[in-house]
Structure 1
Amino acid sequence: MTTELRVLLPSEWDTWYERVLSAFVGVETPEERKLYRSLTETARCLGVWDEGRPVATAGLLSFRMAVPGGAVVPTAGVTMVTVAPTHRRRGILRSFMRRQLDDIRAAGEEPLAVLTASEAAIYGRFGYGLAAGRMAVRIDTGRSTLSLPAPLATEADGLQLRASDTASALLQECEAVYARAVPRRPGMLERRPGWEHTPLLDPERRRDGASPLRCVVALRDGTPVAFARYAVRLGASESGAPEGEVRLRDLEAVDAAGHAAMWRFLWSLDLTTSIVADNRPVDDPWLHLVDDPRRSAKHLNDDTLYVRLVQVGDALAARSYGAPLDVVLEVEDAFCPWNSGRWRLAGDEKGAVCEPTREAADLSLSVRELGRAYLGGVSLAALGRAGLVREVRPGSGALRAAATAFASETAPWLPHGF
């Protein structure tokens, strides 16, 4: 069987994308297809072709991702990776991973690569570490309330709310809030042109009886500071009492008052008794404001965003650290051997430097574990207790110091897939 791996031509996109849809059993509207085509970077897409038809696909997207300390770092987003069942166990996936990482390194602009995985066991062997999770919630708003401290309630009262039954009507205001929110939370992605339309996709097949997507924005002195996009699905109990459901798509805010105003608005929507969301950060502010947490069903999913350090030195220097740190890391990276070796990382909350060194190592770990800890949501100390990070000189305190410095005060989170 003769196959050819090569870069996608723009004229081949439709055929190539049909392979992606087939792999993920996808169905889409013409609007969705048009948007996804416009977002595809064909020069960064690969395909394996067999007798003129695509049997495997992979792509890269040019992102900028927030990292601890607020920097927004160029990052390659791995996407649309598929291999047809007829062509498995032939090394195609490995060849994709090899080609992508080599291309990223050669370009020299993106020290990081990230992906979301349809199957959790696939990408660890290529150096991707699971770095961020999400929370799915069902909040019983009929039997619980928000308990806002007086100063916060007063500040939330001072915000002006503007609502629309058409989410796209307030797109500019929402994107202004999103842009301000990005540096505040590791894992968030800046919106490249066109990506602002992805949260507005609202095909009928996904509504399951809910309304079209709606939007509400909070403004302070005319400046947007928070927004929520949501739909409402009406329902009733056996006795006829209303039991509608608020389906939350997105909620962002730049401060505590904005968060409070958005959650209070959603809590008070007529004819509803619950709020449902499938992707919220694990440290969402409402968790600390609800008066009866037992009325909220929460499901934590720690399998969301995988991080790969393509250039260890540049990646570790791109973020800052929550405490002063001066440590030598012995990094093992069999798939990208240019990262293997000892690196001296010195930094604090103002910045960092990371360079190769011949000094004795303090900690030993693989690049996968470094990816897990990179965004500050997975503790190096926890990985050490699991035997995945080793303190070369036991009792030196190096692991504790590094774990403290790497930690982020805000949980990493990816608000949307790619």
Structure 2
Amino acid sequence: MASELRTLRDTEWDDWSNALERAFGGVPPSGEERALRRALTEAERSLAVWDDGECVGTAGAFSFGLTVPGGAEVPVAGVTAVSVRATHRRRGLLRSMMRHQLADVRERGEPLAVLTASEPAIYGRFGYGPAALDMQLTVDTVRLAAPELPGVDGVRLRLVDPSAALPECERVYARLVPGRPGMLARRPGWAGLALLDAPGERDGAGVLQCAVAEVDGEVRGYVRYAVKVVWEDAGASGVVRVRDIEALDPVVYAALWRFLFGIDLTSSVTVSSRPVDDALPHLAGDLRRCLPVLRESLFVRPVEVGGALAARTYRTPVDVVLEVADPFCPWNAGRWRLTGDGTGAVCARTTDPAELALSVRELGSAYLGGVALTSLAAAGRVRELRPGALAAASVAFGSDVAPWLPHEF
């Protein structure tokens, strides 16, 4: 029987989810997580490939708002749940799902698609470029002094139930979203992922805890974390595992880290995801003792080049003609004139001579301002066709703050 690609039906979610779990190792999530992910699934944006009644391929998308340079919230497709059963590789199933999905994204009027990648090399073929980095930190709280800033003693910290504090924490998060490219405006239900705490997934740590930071009675920051106590011959050497930490100002941020440094029976703090320009290494005073590890997090794919480039602003005035290659979405291919500055931009088709040549993948990498066009050019992936065009465009595409994806999807 020939395979069939179609939109997922609600009644097929269990088979679809089981196929996805099998592709990623076969470890089932907790019942609570499974129920939440089912509730978050947008069936009308989910694809399944069926072969003789079995689900052998999956792909989905979430409807998000993404902050772009300049602070605008742009509707994007958050691509997720992509898998092909090992027995059905090299049949074009992934390509078919990607093509179908991008056509749907375009029809919905979303200028961008974004994803996180378990295997980054796969998605470059479909025009996705790495656009933001995560920084993982493991901080030695024995050798480093706790962060201090003038005013931290005026910040009140309270331990609270993570569920009860969720609305206040979400208000803090929502205020931060416009200030950093790559952050996601969360849709209803998404905040619940931060509270998942299945005992079988704690890896020896205790229950999830939450501390909120208040100034004059207003919650201005929070941290969710768990403590893993480790006993050695010399005594306790536990780890504070930070799940997420946010603050509305530097003083509150320092106060939260000072609190984490001082938790009893611990000698280090780990945090799996912070922006590459995060303040903690400077607050701690020794980058080496923070052991930073970087990895790609968010991959960006312009679906409508003109709409995507016009949706953001630019650090310096820019007027450049781009020759864009996009064999997978040919409606993007050709020359585009981008004109913009810090107040807005216009990007339209043109017959003028090209000044920079690049593929849509490089455009996606540079889009949020975290990857320099000059760096891509040094790798041979952007070609300068008019002297001076590369440097000017690279500066204009930059961002004053590093792009960062706050959570996976």
Partner of 1:196: 191
Mapped to 2, the partners of 1:13 and 1:93 lie a distance apart of 19
Partner of 2:304: 311
What SS class does the counterpart of residue 194 from structure 2 fall into? helix
Contact 2:146 2:262 survives alignment (8 Å): no
Partner of 1:172: 167
Partner of 1:338: 331
What SS class does the counterpart of residue 252 from structure 2 fall into? helix
Partner of 2:150: 153
Deviations 1:162-195, CA, capped at 9 Å, x for gaps = 212x321211111011101111111111110000
Gap runs ≥5 in structure 1: none
Contact 1:146 1:291 survives alignment (8 Å): no
Deviations 1:296-319, CA, capped at 9 Å, x for gaps = 222111x22110000001101111
Counterpart of 1:11, as a letter, is T
What SS class does the counterpart of residue 169 from structure 1 fall into? coil
Partner of 2:406: 415
Mapped to 2, the partners of 1:189 and 1:94 lie a distance apart of 27
Mapped to 1, the partners of 2:19 and 2:81 lie a distance apart of 9
Query: Mapping of 1:337-416 within 5 angstroms?
Result: 337-393=330-386, 396-416=387-407
Partner of 2:14: 14
Mapped to 2, the partners of 1:161 and 1:212 lie a distance apart of 19
Mapped to 2, the partners of 1:118 and 1:292 lie a distance apart of 31
Which of 248, 254, 257 pairs up with 1:254?
A: 248
Partner of 2:114: 114
Contact 2:281 2:290 survives alignment (8 Å): no
What SS class does the counterpart of residue 21 from structure 2 fall into? helix
Mapped to 2, the partners of 1:147 and 1:30 lie a distance apart of 39
Contact 1:145 1:292 survives alignment (8 Å): no
Does 214-223 or 126-135 show the bigger shift?
A: 214-223
Contact 1:327 1:346 survives alignment (8 Å): yes
Deviations 1:100-132, CA, capped at 9 Å, x for gaps = 111111222x10000111112101011000111
Contact 2:48 2:56 survives alignment (8 Å): yes
Deviations 1:365-404, CA, capped at 9 Å, x for gaps = 11000000001110001111111111102xx311111111
Mapped to 1, the partners of 2:189 and 2:178 lie a distance apart of 20
Contact 1:137 1:299 survives alignment (8 Å): yes
Mapped to 2, the partners of 1:226 and 1:332 lie a distance apart of 44
What SS class does the counterpart of residue 150 from structure 2 fall into? helix
TM-score by length of 1: 0.95
Mapped to 2, the partners of 1:293 and 1:111 lie a distance apart of 38
2:167 is equivalent to residue 185 of structure 1: no
Partner of 1:325: 318
Partner of 1:294: 288
Mapped to 2, the partners of 1:88 and 1:295 lie a distance apart of 44
Mapped to 2, the partners of 1:11 and 1:288 lie a distance apart of 52
Mapped to 2, the partners of 1:292 and 1:378 lie a distance apart of 25
CA RMSD after TM alignment: 1.2
Contact 2:147 2:254 survives alignment (8 Å): no
Partner of 1:214: 209
Contact 1:179 1:190 survives alignment (8 Å): yes
Contact 2:147 2:258 survives alignment (8 Å): no
What SS class does the counterpart of residue 289 from structure 1 fall into? helix
Partner of 1:138: 138
Q: CA deviation at 1:223?
A: 2.4
Percent identity at matched positions? 57
Mapped to 2, the partners of 1:78 and 1:331 lie a distance apart of 23
Counterpart of 2:175, as a letter, is R
Counterpart of 2:150, as a letter, is A
Gap runs ≥5 in structure 2: none
What SS class does the counterpart of residue 123 from structure 1 fall into? helix
Change in Cα spacing, 1:147 to 1:9, as seen in structure 2 (3 Å) is closer
Partner of 2:92: 91
Q: CA deviation at 1:157?
A: 2.3
Which of 252, 260, 264 pairs up with 1:270?
A: 264
Contact 1:65 1:186 survives alignment (8 Å): yes
Q: CA deviation at 1:83?
A: 0.5
TM-score by length of 2: 0.97
What SS class does the counterpart of residue 361 from structure 2 fall into? helix
Q: CA deviation at 1:147?
A: 4.9
Contact 1:213 1:230 survives alignment (8 Å): yes
What SS class does the counterpart of residue 362 from structure 2 fall into? helix
Mapped to 2, the partners of 1:267 and 1:389 lie a distance apart of 44
Counterpart of 1:231, as a letter, is A
Counterpart of 1:116, as a letter, is T
Query: Mapping of 1:47-86 within 5 angstroms?
Result: 47-86=48-87
Partner of 1:40: 41
Mapped to 1, the partners of 2:276 and 2:240 lie a distance apart of 20
Partner of 2:159: 163
What SS class does the counterpart of residue 209 from structure 1 fall into? coil
Deviations 1:7-48, CA, capped at 9 Å, x for gaps = 111011111111011111232121111100000000111111
Contact 2:239 2:267 survives alignment (8 Å): yes
Mapped to 2, the partners of 1:293 and 1:129 lie a distance apart of 28
Contact 1:325 1:348 survives alignment (8 Å): yes
Counterpart of 1:56, as a letter, is G
Mapped to 2, the partners of 1:141 and 1:239 lie a distance apart of 16
